[in-house]
Amino acid sequence: MDLGFIGLGEMGQAIAANLLKAGHRVRVWNRSPERLGPLVELGAQAVATPADAFRGDAVFSMLADDAAARAVFDDALLAQAPRGLIHVNMATISVALAGALAHAHEARGLAYVAAPVMGRPDVAAAARLTIIAAGPAEAIDRMQPLFDAIGQKTWRLGSLPEHANTVKITANFTLAAAIETLGEASALLAGHGVAMRDFLDVITHSVFPGPVYEGYGAMIAERRYEPARFKARLGLKDVRLALAAGDAASVPLPVASVVRDSLLDALAHGGGDQDFAVLGEVAARRAGR
């Protein structure tokens, strides 16, 4: 397929590379041009503007947040896009913006598919992402071979793109709550002289097996927050998206408010670019440890 790709952070780089390896032609654009080099070496075509990428059969995007998406996917860009183009937005954006983008694309004769992913950059590089897709069924059908090239499973959630973003935001909120709990648990254990490692050995082999408690628990136990696989400042963005979604539906999320404040504490102490697991440091600091 003739593809465009917009947004080449760590996740975007890995996804675009796998699309190239699958034999697709890929035009790439990024606000920081230095990110283009590795993909050009793999055969991508670097382009000068988002409009140059926003053509062909489909375009993938992985921009950082709502502000970046609004700045790039404006009316002028959508107006010049070829009718029938499929836009696959893989970023974690707000529920409200997902709905607005879907409407704007439909008005221009474009197909909009929300396909946020679960998985860190190493998972993306291994083409093992979990893809949460929602939008026009025909468009998702056409994109499925590409999803298969970059992920291990695609979950289809119907025709409303905002449903995919709701699920992704809720999943990240759940992850954030688990990490907050692990951080507080570590402080509680330290207060009574119990090693976090011993605690983790018990819970990960009984009631809480799996990568969240094993992986983030180990990082908290070792106070190992770098290199960051998921930065705390990005976690804060996603928790704020959950709170905004709750406000829109009059759903109180008191745990999300606690996690937001803990992440703000982390940022205030210079931990914004450290891993999400830095919530363990916040809990220790509160406990005077």
Per-residue pLDDT tens for 243-268? 999 999 999 999 999 999 999 999 99
Q: 17, 218, 214, 11: which is closest to 123 by C-alpha?
A: 11
Q: Return the SS3 of 271.
A: coil
Token pair 């970023």 is found at: 91
Give pLDDT < 70 ranges for the chain: none
Choice among 21, 168, 231, 237 that is catalytic: 168
Strands 129-133 vs 117-118: parallel, antiparallel or unpaired: antiparallel
Residue the block writes with tokens 């937005």: 89
Q: How far apart, in Å, do the first and last CA atoms of the chain sit?
A: 55
pLDDT at 289: 86
134-170 pLDDT, tens digit per residue, is: 999 999 999 999 999 999 999 999 999 999 999 999 9
The pLDDT of residue 278: 98
For residue 89, give the nearest of 163, 20, 148, 165 by alpha carbon.
165
The predicted model scores a pTM of: 0.94
d(CA 255, CA 210): 22
Distance, CA of 28 to CA of 61 (rounded, Å): 10
Is 153 in the active site?
no
**Residue whose pair of structure tokens reads 């998985």 in the numeric block:** 119
